[in-house]
Amino acid sequence: MTSHPHIVGRRLAALLIAAAMLSASARLTAQTQVADSALTLWQQRNSALATSAFAATWRTTPAEFRRTWDAALESERRALEPYRDRLTASQFDEELLRLRLQHAWGRVLWPYFNWRESDASDVMPDVALDTLIRTLPLEDERWWSLPEHAALRGALVHERARTLLARRPALRTGDAQWLRAEFEAAQELFRSESAQRSVTTTLLLTHLDENNERGVDSVYAQWVALRPDSASHRRVDSLIADHRAARAGHAIDTYRRIDDVPLELHILRPTAGDTSGIRPAMLWFHGGSGTSGNWSHSPGIVRELRRLGLVIVSVEFRTGSRFDAGPIEQAEDARAAFEYVQRNAARLRIDPNRIGVAGFSSGAGLALWLGTRGHSAHALDTDVALPERRYPAAVITSGVCVDPAGPKEDGYFRKRVSERASVRLFSPIDLIAAGQPRTLMIHAANDEYCDFTDAERFSVMSGAVGNDVWFVPVPNATHFFGFYDRSGQAIMRSAIEDALAHWGWLHRP
């Protein structure tokens, strides 16, 4: 039996068409694989527009920076060109745009970093920047998922907010100062509601994640009016509710007011032993580079101290994000908080002779500043004689920068302090003297933010004048080890317990 020739022809044609389609699909798959491989090679190479290359320009002049940074963009364009035939057209266009966005990001941020790291007296804006920004698709939603696009949007908003804060006194009072300024900046920079909604949602979520809910009411209604999606709305409301819930179940005192905003102390009683009697106490200063942070942030130290029978007084102090405050204002808040606790020790059921200070990162800097400068004078007083200084009873630090004005740290501390005082007045390593309190310093051996050798040198120098200082290194650990490194956490807990027993604050059976 033979098949009808028309049927055979149709079947053969179908098979040939299918084969051709499979062949085209295979070729397309192969081309895509080649393009993806080439894209990976391109993206993994060292870029002339990398953050490290950008940092190398911070101490140059504006003209030198422009020449260097523009040349870096041109170099990257030339380096991308040989990939044109190895990438898909859309991949090539996207990579070219990413270069332009990264270049613009550097142009936006360079004036600030130049001010921070050089002798420049002010942040000098790039007068040609607006022309450059107008050439970029800032409001084109197709590109919003690119990390360089998000970084540029954030940089533009932040730097416009800096200008608004400088020009508008009303923004420099009250709470959430930077958040309010950045919301206004977003409205000025982006015309479309969708762009404003995207930017402000990111701002609000970041603020709530890094700070707390206080002051957020000043922008919340404005954000809701932009009609955020339901998932973002639930996330924001959940974070606000979580922060408010954390305030329940313990006493809260106001130790001072700034622009009618109360700065609070959260009194956390021990969780073991005598939980209601008169107990030793530690004031806790959270980290966050002085820019952000919340009273509840701690890498396990607060929990351990409470377990060992101490009262924790967690201090809310002025941060850069909420109050546009710097090291001097934060030092003054730390001093005022300690004085308040000491005055109210009986009411707070705290032993007045055993009130110490503890902190992580920038908060550890505040604790160590109180332990070397003392709390007996205002932060800017320069004539307090050593015999007249009053100190906390003890100090515990984790990840402390002992020489914040030194060459190993960035220039922000030096710039902010030098506007009003000598930076050495706020540098613990320059304030070492005999008679300072017993101190436990816990420090990660691979700390990438606060120098390990400087911290160890501080302990040696302080011990050499007769102070009781324990320095506990945490091997193979980095700055934030206390939040996730179990072996480092075990070392930290053991060191705290041993130190408290050594000081007579803990009585082992």
Q: Could you read off the pLDDT of 121-156 as tens digits, one per residue?
A: 889 889 999 999 999 999 999 999 999 999 999 999
At residue 45 the predicted structure's pLDDT band, cuts being 50, 70 and 90, is: confident
236: pLDDT strictly greater than 50: yes
190: pLDDT strictly greater than 80: yes
Q: Specify the pLDDT at position 26.
A: 43
Give the sheet arrangement for strand 279-285, strand by strand: 251-258, 261-268, 311-315, 279-285, 350-360, 394-398, 438-444, 469-474
Q: Specify the pLDDT at position 355.
A: 98
Q: Specify the pLDDT at position 5.
A: 36
At residue 274 the predicted structure's pLDDT band, cuts being 50, 70 and 90, is: confident
11: pLDDT strictly greater than 60: no
- The mean pLDDT of 112-118, rounded to a whole number, is 92
Say what the pTM is. Answer: 0.89
Q: Specify the pLDDT at position 485.
A: 95
Q: Which amino acid, 410?
A: D
Contact yes or no for 327/245 (Cβ under 8 A) = no
Q: Specify the pLDDT at position 14.
A: 40
- The mean pLDDT of 263-287, rounded to a whole number, is 94
Predicted confidence (pLDDT) per residue in 322-343, tens digit: 999 999 999 999 999 999 999 9
Return the minimum-mean-pLDDT range out of 334-338, 382-386, 429-433. 382-386
Contact yes or no for 306/349 (Cβ under 8 A) = no
Q: Specify the pLDDT at position 35.
A: 67
At residue 508 the predicted structure's pLDDT band, cuts being 50, 70 and 90, is: low
Instruction: Select the more confidently predicted residue: 276 or 25.
Output: 276
SS (H, E, C) 370-388: HHHHCCCCCCCCCCCCHHH
Q: Specify the pLDDT at position 15.
A: 35
At residue 34 the predicted structure's pLDDT band, cuts being 50, 70 and 90, is: low
Contact yes or no for 176/207 (Cβ under 8 A) = yes
Q: DSSP secondary-structure letter at 262? A: E
At residue 17 the predicted structure's pLDDT band, cuts being 50, 70 and 90, is: very low
Q: Specify the pLDDT at position 313.
A: 98
Record the tokens describing residue 282, joined without a space.
């530690």
At residue 38 the predicted structure's pLDDT band, cuts being 50, 70 and 90, is: confident
- The mean pLDDT of 277-303, rounded to a whole number, is 94
Sequence-ordered list of residues with C-beta below 8 angstroms from that of 58, at least 6 positions apart, any chain: 110, 113, 114, 116, 117, 118
23: pLDDT strictly greater than 60: no
Q: Specify the pLDDT at position 22.
A: 36
At residue 383 the predicted structure's pLDDT band, cuts being 50, 70 and 90, is: low
Q: Specify the pLDDT at position 389.
A: 80
Q: How far apart are CA 282 and CA 317, in angstroms?
A: 16
Q: Distances in Å between the alpha carbon of 266 and those of 3, 9, 251, 314?
A: 90, 86, 6, 5
DSSP bridge pairs for 263? 256
Record the tokens describing residue 390, joined without a space.
């009053």
Q: Specify the pLDDT at position 54.
A: 96
Q: Quick check: helix, strand or coil at residue 451?
A: coil
Q: Specify the pLDDT at position 204.
A: 97
Q: What is the phi/psi pair of residue 294, to 5°?
A: -145, 150
438: pLDDT strictly greater than 90: yes
Q: Specify the pLDDT at position 33.
A: 56
Between helix 217-224 and helix 177-189 the angle, nearest 10°, is 30
Share of residues in the chain with pLDDT > 70 (%): 92
SS (H, E, C) 282-295: EEEECCCCCCCCCC
Of the chain, the end-to-end C-alpha distance in Å amounts to 101
419: pLDDT strictly greater than 80: yes
